[in-house]
Chains A and B, each alone.
Chain A
Amino acid sequence: MARRLPRKDVVIVGLGWTGSILAYELSRTGLEVVAIERGPWRDTATDFNIGTAPDELRYGVRHDVFLRPRQETLTMRNNASQTALPIRKWGSFLPGNGVGGAGVHWNGQTWRFLPDDFRIRSHMIERYGEKIMPEGNHIQDWPVSYDELEPYYDKFERVLGISGKAGNLKGKIQPGGNPFEGARSSEYPTPPMTQGYAQELFTKAATSLGLHPFPRPSANISVAYTNPYGCTMAPCTYCGFCERFGCANYSKSSPQTCVLPALVREPTFEARTDCEVTKVNLSGDGKMATGVTYVDANGEEWEQPADLVLVCAFSLFNVRLLLLSGIGKPYDPVRDEGVVGRNYAYQTGSGATGFFADVKFNPFAAAGSLGAALDDYNSDNFDHGPHGFVGGASITCAYTNGRPILYHPTPKGTPTWGSAWKKAVHENYQKVTNVGAQGSVMSYRNNYLDLDPTYKDPLGRPLMRMTFDYQDNERKMANWMAERCEEIAKAMGAKTTQVNRLNGPWSVVPYQTTHNTGGAVFGNDPKTSVLNRYLQSWDVHNVFVMGASAFPQNAGYNPTGTVGALTYWALDAIFDYLKSPRALVQS
């Protein structure tokens, strides 16, 4: 039986980006805030020590900082006719764990979604007619516009110190930036990163093709920076140990570098680590949350009462917590009813690899978000009419690292082992670069999340089941993008190119992206959304749910910038809510 703890004003589930920001902003007003995090405390000097951090085997391959599947995983299948099996070992995506969440091990690419992305359904139908909408889609307009979110994007970028070059300042197109981006109220807080030789070739080639390359916005920051919370960061040293690693020299934006030092000073804040929230508790009528129940590392169960529950775990685990807590009606794909688990989406990866002669790309001199990108083929920045698909991709030439267990490229046709393989590895390491397309995935009736009937976690709770595959629309889009990437790789001077298409069913084995979205989407209609436009539960108004689980469908960008903007957007709503607790939107 759970032991009951003294009441707090606010309980936060998960102490990553969204949890730490909300914890700080709320506790600084004097509210009693407790954050409950199932992983350990992590900090730069102790856990990302320069004498232990650059270790590819430990972190890159054995996944030391990730959630261990033994503690929680999902089951997966490509469609409802199959039997889902557990993802026993992470591959396609890598959920974080511990204080800082995935903000510890992310690459740091920090984008804003494009204005069209927020009203993609209306926009596409207005421009191309209903016929362009893919079969079985659940594509929805977002309940907020780019203009509404802009100040919050700005705030988040300022807290992170993002390095980049504005392409559209208050409506005025800026040379060197992304001309397709929505109007920005201000320049990036820090200048763009230094680009490498491959990016130089990409930028020249893309420009010669009439495209519009720019340095991509980066949370590996270019110069020392002190953010509005007073937290100081150092310049990135291009060590190439970002994704899957914690940063040893305070140069990657993370809760550790940007928020926690200020947060822990707030006397009304408390973090409890190694404690897993198992349930959001509801009042008898199910209309109010009374707090949460959690289990500590010794297996003891505790009840933490609170007036406000903020669900701030990784998107997938937000959805599972709602399902396990009975908040919102679970999605039923057969009847196409219910909302929790609906509109799960992901991203496509495709592109082209270029093999060059006589170059030294030095791929190890890299950073998670170093890279030159272009948006000419993203969202609706190009005419979709001739192509018959919805969506787009950001196209990038980048090195995130040159770590050799996982990166030792060889041309197609090279044997996979033996002296010939060894020779090819030796010859190609310096001469390969990739032009990649990170593409949007729309939402569909058949891609969803629910609870698995068979498999359980160590606490005996059902695992969540993911039913997902790429649909024709996404395959068409991704493969068209791959050809665009190849054009650019050729124009860069590649001796040979290989096109990487999106073939076969989605597989959990190779790493693709940790940009899992949806399942607890926000919207204006409670029949098709879990949350209202302020990320407040339609059903239980003292529950707010942060994160990419709120995205109605996914875009061709990394999600963190938008997750951060939505957090600050929701924060303003939470302040309003605290003055007078109520449903902020009448259903």
Chain B
Amino acid sequence: MRRVVNGGWAQLRHALLLLPLLASGAAAEPDNYVEIARGKALATAGDCITCHTANGGAPFAGGLALQTPFGAIMTPNITPDNVTGIGSWSADDFARAMHEGRRPGGSYLYPAFPYPYYSKVTRADLDAIYAYLRTLAPVTNAVNRSTLPFPFSIRQSMLGWNRLFFTPGVFVPDPKRSDEYNRGAYLVEGLGHCGACHTPFNSFGAAKTDHYLEGNQIDNWTAPNITNDMHAGLGKWSVDDIAHYLKTGQTATTLASGPMKDVIENSTSKMPDADLRAIAVYLKERGAAGSSPPAPLSASDPRMQAGEAIFADTCSACHTSNGGGVEHIFPKLAGNAIATQDDPASLIRIVIAGGRAAATNERPTGPAMPSLGFRLNDAQVAAVVTYVRNSFGNAASPVTADTVKALRGRVTGAAD
């Protein structure tokens, strides 16, 4: 079980000065149904449950090990249990954790908890989330919160990190943009913390802000470029495509799998359509044109020929011989941005380990790609992946057997 969490925490200069003013009188009454329901929707948009639930554990009771480049961090219990959860926290305590990454006693949280994003959430929204969390049944679940090795075990070290990479501050709408765009920006940059996966990070685990949303590798999955880049990003997707994808886990020609499957199942499929549309509008206005694609590999290349044979014998019964796929069930490979990302990780790991697509109320099937790692050796996986990346109009760098071997070791836990 592994999950790599990056930072995404921006530069900090005057953290204390920029602390947001605490909105007064915003705390929800515990029996304020409207506020609680709003908080629940916001918690869904933030996908809190996914990280704060252990495998097979009670929802929100924490205990999930997040793998960071610095070691494993166990997620805390955020149910209102007084001893092991956050039952003793006030609304102010909660807001401080979300906005500043500080616990009630002042100690620092690690940015595996994406407070650099949550810093942008309004206090009113945080109070609503707080109100919702207060309604959960308290669960007694003590979590070891000190699992990082030295020197990262020293929480005080986050002070320096915050100074370098964290810019607190509530989201400020751009008055020149539409309300819809601003709503999308608020969700993506704030609660949605999309950049936590989709933005590459530096060696300190902080986001490279100049490559915002341009893609990253997370947990041996490609978190693709989700800017409007024509080649690698969402350039060919319409606003409706993106909104539909977030709602149902698929467009007619592509299916969400891997970490995005969980995001969709636990979060975006349950969000209001207007919010999904706002996210899409925002994403469609991000990013400049990236590099143009390379020329495809020649069909006479031996890797392409082996790949074509493997594809014909193993893949075409679902994805069809021309890479067209089948709508709503088998992804189209022709023109598929995942297939042609610079980073081939998702493609390789799906061939080796298989993958389950998102299942949603509208599209419950959640078709799964079978694991073929037992059938194809490293060279064969490399060949078929190279073939997919350079056929049906696709063009991308070839993949080597060594790359496959390394990824196989990581996704199966055993080098082949």
Chain A interface (Cβ within 8 Å of chain B)? Answer: 43-46, 49-51, 224, 226, 229-235, 237, 239, 248-250, 257, 261-262, 265
Contacts and interface: CB of A to CB of B under 8 A. Distances in A.
Nearest to A236: B317
Contact of A50 (B326, B356, B370): B370
Contacts of B317: 50, 237, 239, 248-249
Given A50-B314, A226-B328, A265 B359 contact: yes
Nearest to B374: A51
Contact of B314 (A51, A235, A250): A51
A249 B365 CA distance: 13
B364 A234 contact: no
Contacts of B370: 44-46, 49-51, 248
A49 B375 CA distance: 11
Given A44-B367, A234-B330, 9 more contacts: A44-B370, A45-B354, A49-B370, A50-B314, A50-B318, A51-B314, A51-B372, A230-B362, A265-B364
Contacts of A262: 364
Contact of B318 (A51, A230, A234, A257): A234
Contacts of A226: 328
Interface in B362-382: 362-372, 374-375
Contacts, number: 71
B329 A250 contact: yes
A56 B326 CA distance: 27
A404 B11 CA distance: 69
Given A50-B317, A226-B328, A45 B369 contact: yes
Interface of B: 314, 317-318, 326-330, 354, 356, 359, 361-372, 374-375
Nearest to A233: B329
Main secondary structure of the interface of B (DSSP, over half): loop
Contacts of A248: 317, 370
A229 B362 CA distance: 9
B368 A43 contact: yes
Given A232-B329, A234-B326, A234-B329, A250 B375 contact: no
B99 to A, nearest CB: 35
A235 B365 contact: no
Main secondary structure of the interface of A (DSSP, over half): loop
Contacts of A229: 364
Contacts of B328: 224, 226, 232
Given A234-B329, A234-B330, A45 B368 contact: yes
Given A51-B374, A224-B329, A230 B369 contact: no
B372 A230 contact: no
Contact of B367 (A51, A232, A237, A265): A232
Across the A-B interface, the 8 shortest Cβ-Cβ residue pairs: A45-B368, A49-B370, A51-B375, A261-B364, A45-B370, A234-B326, A232-B365, A261-B365
A231 B329 CA distance: 10
A140 to B, nearest CB: 40
Nearest to A45: B368
Nearest to A226: B328
A261 B326 contact: no
Contacts of B327: 224
14 contacts: A43-B368, A44-B370, A45-B368, A49-B372, A50-B317, A229-B364, A230-B365, A232-B363, A249-B317, A249-B318, A250-B318, A250-B329, A250-B367, A265-B364
Contacts of B374: 51
A345 B371 CA distance: 43
Nearest to B330: A234
A261 B314 contact: no
B14 to A, nearest CB: 48
A44 B317 CA distance: 14
B377 to A, nearest CB: 13
B368 to A, nearest CB: 3
Given A49-B371, A50-B317, A261-B359, A230 B364 contact: yes
A226 B248 CA distance: 14
A224 B314 contact: no
A386 B70 CA distance: 88
A229 B361 CA distance: 9
With most chain B CB atoms within 10 A of its CB, the pick from A45, A235, A261 is A45
Contacts of B314: 50-51
Contact of A230 (B354, B361, B368): B361
Contacts of A232: 328-329, 363, 365, 367
Contacts of A224: 326-329
A59 to B, nearest CB: 16
A50 B375 CA distance: 10
Nearest to B372: A51
B368 A46 contact: yes
A434 B375 CA distance: 36
A231 B361 contact: no
A246 to B, nearest CB: 11
Contacts of B372: 49-51
Contacts of A250: 318, 329, 365, 367
A75 to B, nearest CB: 39
